[in-house]
Amino acid sequence: MQKKTKLQSNGSVLVVGGGLGGIRAALDLAEARKDVILVDKAPCIGGLMTQLDRTFPTNNCDLCTVAPFTAKDSRGGHLDMRGLTTVTAVKGKEGNFTVSLMTAPRFVNVEKCTACGECQRKYPECVSFAPGLDPRAPTCMRYPKATPYAYVIDMAKCADKEGLKQCCPVGAIETDALPKVEEAQCGSIILAAGAALFDPSHLDYFGYAAQPDVVTSLEYERILSASGPTGGKLLRPSNGQPPKKVAWIQCVGSRGLQKGAGAYCSSACCMFALKEAMVTRERFDSEIETTIFYMDMRAFGKDYEKYLNRAKEQYGVRLVHSRPHDVLRPVGMDKLQILYTVDEAPKHITEEFDMVVLSTGFKMNEDVKKLAEDLAVELYADGFPKTDCFNAVATSVPGVYVCGTLQGGKDIPETMTQASAASCLAGAKVAVTPRPKAELPAVTPECAGSPRVGVLVTLCDHESTALDTTALVEYAKSIPHVVCAAAFEAACDPSSFDAVKAAILANGVNRVVVAGSSPRYELEKYQAMLAPVGINKYLIEVANIREQAAWVHAGEPAAANAKAKQLVAMAVAGVMAAKPLADHVVPANKNALVVGGGVTGMTAALELAGQGAKVCLVEKTAELGGVARNLVKTIEGGDVQALIADLVEKTTSHPNIKVFTATEIVDHSGQVGLFRTGLSVNGAYKEIEHGATILATGATPNQPQAFLLGENSRVCTQLDLQKVVNEQPKEVKKWKNVVMIQCVGSRDADNPNCSRLCCQSSIKNALAILKENPNARIFVLYRDLRTYGRFEEYYQKARELGVIFVRYSVDNPPKVEAAGHYANVTFTDVIMGRQVVVSADCVGLSTGFVASRKSNEALAKVFGLPLTDDGYFAEMHVKLRPVDMDKAGFFVAGCAHSPKVIAENLTQARAAASRAMTVLANDTLVQEAKFAHVDRARCAACLVCVRACPFDVPQITVDDKGLGRSYIDPVKCHGCGTCAAECPAKAIQLNQFEDVQILSSLDQLLAKVNA
């Protein structure tokens, strides 16, 4: 306990960097009621993602699902956000850092600036943001939906200060502002400042510096973007004409290929190139030919293989396995030429393209490197921080954590996971700050007054090009009882909400329809935003015109617009019939349930327990440790058995953790903050109460019927192979030939996804075999070698040591046959163009993982959770909420989410713990008014509801008149609506979804039919 008080002495966490990772880390901490200072050197937050056009795999933007929550009034005052701010010095150590912060003057008073753009118009050299394609000028708004929503001036570039000052209609320009220097105390630091992108200017053979039509991926994103230099039109920079053929060249600045390139794989580029190619064909012109020149297609993330297949099969993106050596534009020619060769034919191919996109990777940002050096964080030679092999977010300096691309190249979901993991560890070092809870808004009589409906159309123009926003607003105005309707463009920008609030107050609006995207993301945001102007949260209806109109009818604008109007009219009818309702507050349970006692589950339990939560850890088998018990070492040399022993010891001895082995989950009820789960502990029933649940149930090592596995003693899986190398070194010393076959039982019809960890595990085993027996000849037969991130360096090492890597195609797989003492492996070497037979002493199959489908389905049923097609648990949002689940209070971590290596599982465990702490930090719980209620006068006590309820909530109680009637406890009710649908007397109504609301919507929809 003493240790805890000491560490929790200083109240804040400093988060450096306001990109997506920094925002996530800061929000997790603020939601867990820890004070956070979020600084970014840029004038507004958002980072790299705000510059992207869209993100994979959904091919939409979605910044609006995260950024609004950084609004200053939305996080209970825990979040202190500072733009234009850099860390100039750091003193002290874990638990007690003193940081010096310097805030550069913005020269614009953010409180006064209305972002009218007058300064930008008066000073025409002022431009909005577009990296590499437009210079930065004195007044600069980085992207159209910037937070804070105000301009910033680079005074050094301004010649006419007085004129600039005078041009502002609200006097917001302050030409004589000075930098502000402050000191802050903090217990821990999270570095989330992102990475720089590789600059290919010096690679003359790609022509980037000389040819306008050769662009980097980020520049291509800007060209695609509606807020980019061409206003969302795909045009060639050289001549302003639309391109007919676009090519991507992969691994520019990654995998050690060019001068100045990192040796690592940047991990994200294969996927963003696929996305850019798909978006090019989907959004601009399906006639545009898209070709990606690649080395290995690294689609290793959850469901990414399916995305790759979709790109190839559905979108016709052409993939060429080649490293082009030249991009040329011969004198007098309008087009670019790419010169390359392919595996199959040793000849020189010249192909013409209109544009060439260089898929540039990540590299360490020099400013960030300097800060890391000031903090004495150990760095690799390439500048990225060294992190622990079992803790990817912990640096060599206690109390200093990293996440996102600053830690190494990665995509958004992994950035979000690391951000939450970093906030878990950083947050453990600072105390929870109690704040007075705001009172719930009262349900006033005006709420129910004569309906005055406001319609807000919140579409992003670049997401819904098919819809005519202006026409939709005009149409909304014509609907009876609609008193105001307006388009509201910056749904991702919290500051722009003020204009909306003002409009609502001015028009006396008491009911609101939001025409935007899914209510799953929109409703909560608008409920929080409109509560201060007195709109009852149950008098807001969302019309999902993005998914249901713009997207599904993307190619048919007329149909999309007609449907959008109908959806809005239905929502208006529904909201008119809605009733204002009051939530109520109940005490919350602050315990956690962790399902699964592998390394992931134990890590999650320990992180939660360390932050004071009481944890029940439930394991199905008799022993803790899970699949990791079969592993010896990680590729970096981390001792897995020592890790397990340490985790088991800590878990079983922690006073806050109760371990139940040989235990299954049998039933479950309740809601976030108030769950009840029934356990069968060695066959005996036990019920526990908890506020949050983490699923860490792992996955199953695959054992496919292939390549004589299980039939021939020479054939084994990589897991078995690792054991043999570890336990029988004498045997290994005798081996002459070893063959490894990749993608066995993965990336096929039965198991379409990539198992992610097999490429590195075969290289790990190859290196281990060579250590015992340097003379062994090792062949790795692969389809795409997916050694992402730093695993690439081990791949290169294996090649240097003479491991022979041979590519096979899925139509021509290798053959394995028993041949006396050996197993003969026959394969085609593409480069030699002939068949090779190897008499192998050992054939190691990279069999990967499959979902534990049966047990996952059983758990999913008990908990009411969705699974993916291949049986893994589905997260809420593949991009931005990678560990949250659809059901509030549930989180997923480890291989239960998708296969991954131990370090990644542990990162996810910490992320899930961090997300769970945002729930468990609450002493009380707002119980939504969405529950079923019984009209006792109509009830005949027929017991239909009692039998129908999946949660056994309705009971027949006796009232004061002695009559037995159904009673539904609002606290226990899940609001599923089953009883309301079943009740023969229509005595049961579900709040927020009463018959009258639904029927009003339907009447509106069918008005013409009925008439």
Partner 1 sequence: MKSIYEYYAKWIREGKLKVSSDWNKERKVKFTIQDPCQIVRKTFGDPIADDLRYVIGKVVGEENIIEMTPNKSNNYCCGGGGGFLQSGFTEARRAYGKVKFDQIMETGADYCITGCHNCHAQVHDIGHHFGGHYSTVHIWTLICLSLGVLGPNERAYLGDDLKDVNVFHPESEH
DSSP 966: E
- Chain position carrying tokens 């131990």: 902
Cβ proximity to partner 1: between 114 and 341 the closer is 341
CA distance 343 to 363: 30
- Residue 328 Cβ, how far from partner 1 at the closest point, in Å? 5
- Residue 318 Cβ, how far from partner 1 at the closest point, in Å? 24
Q: Return the H-helix or E-strand segment holding 476.
A: helix 469-478
563 and 549 Cβ atoms separated by less than 8 Å: yes
96-103 vs 85-93, strand pairing mode: antiparallel
336 SS3 class: strand
Cβ proximity to partner 1: between 332 and 984 the closer is 332
- Residue 322 Cβ, how far from partner 1 at the closest point, in Å? 16
- Residue 204 Cβ, how far from partner 1 at the closest point, in Å? 3
Phi (first) and psi of residue 405, to 5 degrees = -70, -15
Sheet containing strand 289-294, strands side by side: 214-216, 355-360, 245-252, 289-294, 318-321
724 SS3 class: helix
- Residue 830 Cβ, how far from partner 1 at the closest point, in Å? 17
Point out which residues pair with 836 in neighbouring strands.
827
CA distance 949 to 977: 9
- Residue 359 Cβ, how far from partner 1 at the closest point, in Å? 19
CA distance 428 to 226: 42
- Residue 114 Cβ, how far from partner 1 at the closest point, in Å? 48
879 and 55 Cβ atoms separated by less than 8 Å: yes
131 and 222 Cβ atoms separated by less than 8 Å: yes
- Residue 326 Cβ, how far from partner 1 at the closest point, in Å? 5
- Residue 324 Cβ, how far from partner 1 at the closest point, in Å? 11
Cβ proximity to partner 1: between 338 and 421 the closer is 338
CA distance 824 to 311: 36
Cβ proximity to partner 1: between 3 and 348 the closer is 348
Categorise residue 943: left if φ over 0, alpha if ψ from -120 to 50, beta otherwise. left
Phi (first) and psi of residue 216, to 5 degrees = -85, 170
Cβ proximity to partner 1: between 350 and 621 the closer is 350
- Residue 217 Cβ, how far from partner 1 at the closest point, in Å? 21
Cβ proximity to partner 1: between 98 and 350 the closer is 350
CA distance 915 to 31: 9
- Residue 844 Cβ, how far from partner 1 at the closest point, in Å? 31
Q: Return the H-helix or E-strand segment holding 609.
A: helix 599-610
Cβ proximity to partner 1: between 134 and 829 the closer is 829
Number of H helices, E strands in the chain: 26, 48
Cβ proximity to partner 1: between 203 and 491 the closer is 203
CA distance 473 to 471: 5
CA angle 20, 80, 169 (to 5 degrees): 90
Point out which residues pair with 453 in neighbouring strands.
482, 511
Phi (first) and psi of residue 236, to 5 degrees = -70, 130
Q: Which residues bind partner 1 (CB under 8 A)?
A: 202-205, 207, 259, 326, 328, 330, 339, 348
Cβ proximity to partner 1: between 350 and 826 the closer is 350
Cβ proximity to partner 1: between 328 and 632 the closer is 328
Cβ proximity to partner 1: between 258 and 726 the closer is 258
- Residue 81 Cβ, how far from partner 1 at the closest point, in Å? 42
- Chain position carrying tokens 């007397």: 985
336-340 vs 349-353, strand pairing mode: antiparallel
Cβ proximity to partner 1: between 214 and 466 the closer is 214
